[in-house]
Structure 1
Amino acid sequence: MLTRLDPALREQSDRARRPHAIVIGAGLGGLASAMRLGAKGYRVTVLDRLESPGGRGSSLWRDGHRFDLGPTIVTVPQVFEDLWAACGRRFRDDVDLRPMDPFYEIRWPDGSKFTARQDTDAMRAEVARLSPGDAQGYERFLKDSERRYAFGFEDLGRRSMHRFLDLVKVLPTFGMMRADRSVYAHAAKRFRDERLRMAFSFHPLFIGGDPFNVTSMYILVSHLEKAFGVHYAMGGVDAIARAMANVVADQGGLVRQGAEVDEIVVRDGRAAGVRLTGGEVVEADVVVSNADAGHTYDTLMRNVKKRRWTGPKLKRSRWSMGLFVWYFGTKGTRGKWADAGHHTILNGPRYKGLVEDIFLKGKLAEDMSLYVHRPTVTDPSAAPEGDDTFYALSPVPHLGFDDPVDWSAMAETYRRKVQAVLEEQLLPGLGKHLTASEVFTPETFRDRYLSPHGSGFSLEPRIFQSAWFRPHNVSEEVAGLYLVGAGTHPGAGLPGVVSSAEVLGKLVPDADEVRVR
């Protein structure tokens, strides 16, 4: 006599027969990869050492204040919309995204300001207000930016660059677009006013690059802002991460927090699973690492002989700068400091000299430039009623220099310097309103995110550390291992890490093509 199998048991049995994919790390790149793999039919397990999903895009709560720990803006919503669509869902159903207007305000020590907006006429007016003679240069810069966007983001950034022939084919275009020229050098070609040169060249700092040395391909960010706008996710980027984790769960996947991977298990030259710090071994048909590429090769694959990403090569590589971030709350200030918007950039007296201290000399300078985030302008849920939440970010040297900063001794001293700059330039009387406070230094990034040298954005995106020269999305060291996230192609930033998962989706075969171990 035949009996009908319970639907729940049938689903459980079908799931057990599907090939298993492990994703190391629940950062945005890892969660996006899990979603892509789930859509391709894999049984997915995400393993993450932190207490909640999101990695650097997660948040902390202190005394009713939500501190968004990492990225604060969304510049290309389309990459999220495409990701959700691949899973048969709508991004806007799960995330409330709000356009910013203005995007941000840049301030200089002489009191001058530049307000960035999406509207082209408004931007022309801002350029002309600061430097009437640079209006024509702005028009040319926009066209330069659009061309580099089409090539660098829509083409190279959304496909794998792991074959050397792929690099050879694009070299003529790189040459034509003067990829050898730095972002700052290109801005200097188009603008005579030093303030505008800064305003149109600083963007690589948001992905860990030195504007005076990073390839001019990254001026494409100006087109991203103009074409797609700058957005804020209500609830912070943490809300996006949680929505992604929910999609993974709805697909039948599992996100395990507090599960730290100690080693990638390799058998017969192929990734076969992972070993956790407690000794547990989890078998897999596919392994995806969203851990920093340097940590993946140097630590998680420490017992594997490597051909390209060896310890000495990683030590010779150039890493992005470190970050000092002060998260703080203020009491009874909603409506106070009316000219302090959602995003403000406070320039110090030096631009090039400060960048050289940070990236080349490894020196903690006396002066600083700050990015100030005030989410409560848009999202009151980030603080108790009537209060405000902020963070102030200062680029600083990473820990890999010969005489690194001892942040255990310097953190409070430096925080006080940051407070003094804020009180002088943006938030007068700040000290009288301070409540909750939290500080992240490069040592925090090293210990919390296992970031080599405590760098904020993994490998610096210089020309010889980009595209084919960057760690590939499919490992050249062992079969069955894939890499995503800031340290891989196409690079750091939300669009970059989410696009790395899109590239992954084109490299990994569909689940029905894989023989289950």
Structure 2
Amino acid sequence: MKTTIQIIGSGFSSLAAACYLAKEGNDVSIYEKNATIGGRARQLQKDGFTFDIGPTWYWMPDVFERFFADFKKKPSDYYELIKLSPAYQVYFDTNDFVTIADNLPEIITTFESIEKGSGQKLAAFMKEAQSNYDIAIKNLVYRPGESPLELITPETAMKVGQFFSNISKDIRKQFKNERLIQILEFPVLFLGAKPSDTPSFYSFMNFADFGLGTWHPKNGMYSVILAMESLARELGVKIHTNAVVEKILTEDGRACGIQVNGQKIHADIVVSGADYHHSETLLENKNRMYSENYWEKKTFAPSSLLFYVGFDKKIQNTEHHSLFFDVDFDTHAADIYDNPKWPENPLFYASFPSKTDSNSAPEGKEAGIFLIPLAPGIEDTTELREKYFDKIITRLEKLTGQSVKDSILFKESFCINDFIKDYNSYKGNAYGMANTLLQTAFLRPKLKSKKVKNLYFTGQLTVPGPGVPPSLISGKLVADLIKKHYKPEKQPV
């Protein structure tokens, strides 16, 4: 008799888990509260423009390849990948920007041209970063966080000091130019914490950046969601949208189903890929592993103020991905992590996918996605959104030497209130829980409930952490744990 598994949510981790569990012959269904699948990686289409609502960076292509290879597939069976050249551009002032090439030798040359001697230092730094990447991504992150012993290998024993130093300190020992420092600190922001709070070992993100390059799936990141949906359906997964899960049902200390839109649905196993904090609110108090106080004390990755803008002309002097670091990084970081408030002068990021992908905007027009990192849990109003849109567009015009305000056809925004409403996100966080030293591996919320049998969790608040590739891995980890631990109840004779 097949094991019935109900999965809450349809983001990357849920879809990955569903594929692995269905491959094992289980009867798997997904329940998504929104009208379309993808969780935070949904898509907005308006007036011929197409925007990724959530993730826009495709890094670590090897993780995607490994996922599809587990089903004897390749990413190219489902979507076309384009390597961005240049990878991205970083603005520091008017006509003062650094372009990051799509290959390490050119990036080394760029560094050397900015700071004498830094090219050779970067080459050595990247050699260590690649070593860390090989240890982490090919091995450590595929461990389920059940025990601290998972982190102890002959390779990590050689690098134990890197877990007690931090990225910022390491970079500043070797590089003096502030622009180069900020560029090298940028990749670890994907892990959700300040570089000064991120262990040195995470320099593997620099290899993900400079070593493996930045890619764009044709038609956007949502192409990956559609690929995973297609694979899941091929494997027999059933997907339900507009399906609000109101309760996780338990009986005699084990999960026995979920309540969806008022209807009770049986399950042998329940997996939640929804926000972990929210998932536990679907249980009775006695069945929750983590208290409100626990969540309150954790370091969460930022939230974001996002804008999706249709322009009636092509935007000049920018690349597909452009970072605007023309204000003080430390001050903005303090406004996120140390004294949460709206930053006076925020760093921001802009993506113009139509520079690469003609399907993103009508001919002669440009699709723009803008992101300001914010502290989770702060006030979110229409007036604040408008104020900050004006701030960043004014700076965009100044830094790139052009007028764009008069070319805006429309704009849509997405911020803290929307993360809460659409994703039940704790305090409206955008990226989950940060990967600090005390929130790494076995120190993160567990994949398997200790209080309710046959209840599991997946996604960016659990192992291995925030980001799209880790979410794919999280889905595999939870499926492996279920395979390892689940024992069907014996039926009475």
TM surpasses 0.5 = yes
Identify the match of residue 355 of structure 1 among 309, 333, 342.
Answer: 333
Give the alignment of 1:91-110 within 5 angstroms. Answer: 91-109=75-93
Residue of structure 1 aligned with 2:283, choices 290, 301, 311:
301
Other-structure match for 2:308: 327
Q: Secondary structure at the match of 2:342?
A: coil
Shift of 1:236: 0.9
**CA distances 1:469-491 after superposition (whole Å, capped 9, x unpaired):** 11122233322122211111111
In the TM superposition, what whole-angstrom CA distance separates every residue of 1:279-325 from its partner, at most 9, and x where no partner exists? 2111111211111122222x12243333x422211111121111011
CA contact (8 A) 2:140 2:151 kept: no
Residue type of the partner of 1:281?
A: K
1:381 equivalent to 2:359? Answer yes
Question: Hey, what's the Cα distance between the residues in 2 that align with 1:175 and 1:511?
Answer: 32
Q: What CA distance in whole angstroms lies between the structure 1 residues aligned with 2:156 and 2:211? A: 26
- Give the TM-score, by structure 1 length: 0.90
Q: Distance in 2 between matches of 1:100 and 1:168?
A: 37
User: 1:498 pairs with 451, 468, 472, which one?
Assistant: 472
Report if aligned partners of 2:91, 2:323 keep a CA contact under 8 Å in 1: yes
Q: CA deviation at 1:79?
A: 2.1
Residue identity matched to 2:292:
G
Structure 1 runs of 4+ with >4 Å offset: 167-172, 510-517
CA distance in 2, matches of 1:148, 1:255: 38
Identity of aligned residues (%): 25
What is the CA deviation profile of residues 362-390 of structure 1, one whole-angstrom value per residue up to 9, with x for unaligned ones? Answer: 12122111111000011111112221101
Partner of 1:58: 42
Q: 1:368 pairs with 346, 352, 360, which one?
A: 346
Structure 2 Cα separation of the partners of residues 344 and 19 of structure 1: 47
Equivalent pair of 2:434/2:466 in contact (CA under 8 Å): no
> How far off is 1:510 after superposition?
7.9
Does 2:452 match 1:468? no
What is residue 17 of structure 2 aligned with on the other side?
33
Query: Take 1:421 and 1:109, find their aligned partners in 2: how far apart are those partners?
Result: 10
Question: Is 1:228 the counterpart of 2:212 in the alignment?
Answer: yes
313-322 or 475-484: which moved more? 475-484
Deviations 1:242-270 (A, max 9, x none): 12112211222111111011221122222
For residue 148 of structure 1, report the CA deviation from its aligned partner.
1.9
Kindly indicate whether residue 482 of structure 2 is the aligned counterpart of residue 508 of structure 1. Answer: yes
Question: 1:369-419, CA deviations, whole angstroms, 9 ceiling, x for partnerless residues?
Answer: 1111000011111112221101111111211xxxx3242441112222122
1:398 aligns with 2:409: no
Are 2:414 and 1:440 equivalent residues in the alignment? yes
**Superposition deviation, residue 150 in structure 1:** 2.3
Shift of 1:513: 6.8
SS at match of 2:343: coil
Shift of 1:57: 1.1
- 2:292 aligned partner: 311
Residue 113 of structure 2 corresponds to which residue in structure 1?
A: 129
Q: Distance in 2 between matches of 1:64 and 1:388?
A: 11
Q: Contact 1:208 / 1:461 at 8 angstroms: preserved in 2? A: yes
* Structure 1 residues without counterparts, runs of 5 or longer: 1-16
Deviation of the 1:208 alpha carbon = 2.2
1:282 and 2:248 matched: no
Secondary structure (helix, strand or coil) at the match of 2:196 reads: coil
Show the counterpart of 1:82.
Answer: 66
Equivalent pair of 1:376/1:389 in contact (CA under 8 Å): yes
Provide the secondary structure at the position in 1 that maps to 2:338.
helix
> Which of 260, 268, 274 is equivalent to 2:252?
268
8 Å contact from structure 1 (residues 318, 459) kept in 2? yes
CA 1:491/1:170 → structure 2, altered by over 3 Å: closer, same or farther? farther
Q: Secondary structure at the match of 2:259?
A: strand
The counterpart of 2:201, out of the listed 203, 217, 220, is 217
The separation in 2 between residues aligned to 1:248 and 1:363, in whole angstroms, is 41
Name the aligned partner's letter for residue 447 of structure 2.
Answer: N
2:403 matched residue in structure 1: 429
CA contact (8 A) 1:134 1:193 kept: no
2:103–2:213 contact (8 Å) kept in structure 1: no
TM-score in terms of structure 2 length: 0.94
Greater Cα shift, 93-102 or 78-87: 78-87
1:175 deviates by 6.1
Q: Which moved more, 1:423-432 or 1:284-293?
A: 423-432
CA 1:407 to 1:186, structure 2 compared with 1: closer, same or farther past 3 Å?
farther
Counterpart contact for 1:40–1:510, Cα < 8 Å: no
Deviating more after overlay: 24-33 vs 414-423: 414-423
Q: 1:178 — aligned with what?
A: 162
In structure 2, the CA distance between the partners of 1:230 and 1:172, relative to structure 1 (3 Å rule), is closer
Q: 1:246 and 2:230 equivalent?
A: yes
- The separation in 1 between residues aligned to 2:443 and 2:370, in whole angstroms, is 33
CA distance in 2, matches of 1:509, 1:372: 42
Match of 1:454 among 428, 452, 455: 428
Asked if 1:150 corresponds to 2:131, the answer is no
Give the counterpart of 2:150 among 156, 166, 169.
166
Q: Name the SS for the 1:365 alignment partner.
A: coil
User: Does the residue aligned with 2:470 lie in a helix, a strand or coil?
Assistant: helix
Q: How far has the Cα of 1:110 moved from its partner?
A: 6.0
CA spacing shift, 1:415–1:183, aligned 2, 3 Å:
same
CA distance in 2 between counterparts of 1:324 and 1:512 reads 41
Distance 1:163 1:266, change over 3 A: farther
Q: 1:201 aligns with which of 172, 175, 185?
A: 185
Matched to 1:447, the amino acid is: K
In the other structure, the counterpart of 2:275 is 292
Amino acid at match of 1:425: L
- Deviation digits for residues 131-182 of structure 1 (CA, Å, limit 9, x no counterpart): 1132232122112212221222222101111124435679973863421222
Whole-Å Cα distance in 1 between the matches of residues 262 and 368 of structure 2? 40
**Contact 1:398–1:442 (CA under 8 A) maintained in structure 2:** yes
SS at match of 1:95: coil
SS class of match (2:327) = coil
Deviation at 1:515, TM superposition (A): 5.6
Decide whether the 8 Å contact of 1:208 with 1:456 is kept in 2.
no
Deviation at 1:437, TM superposition (A): 0.9
Structure 2 stretches lacking a partner, 5+ long: none
Query: Once the 2 structures are TM-superposed, how far is the Cα of residue 122 of structure 1 from its aligned partner?
Result: 0.2
Shift of 1:430: 0.8
Look up the equivalent residue of 2:339 and give its one-letter code.
K
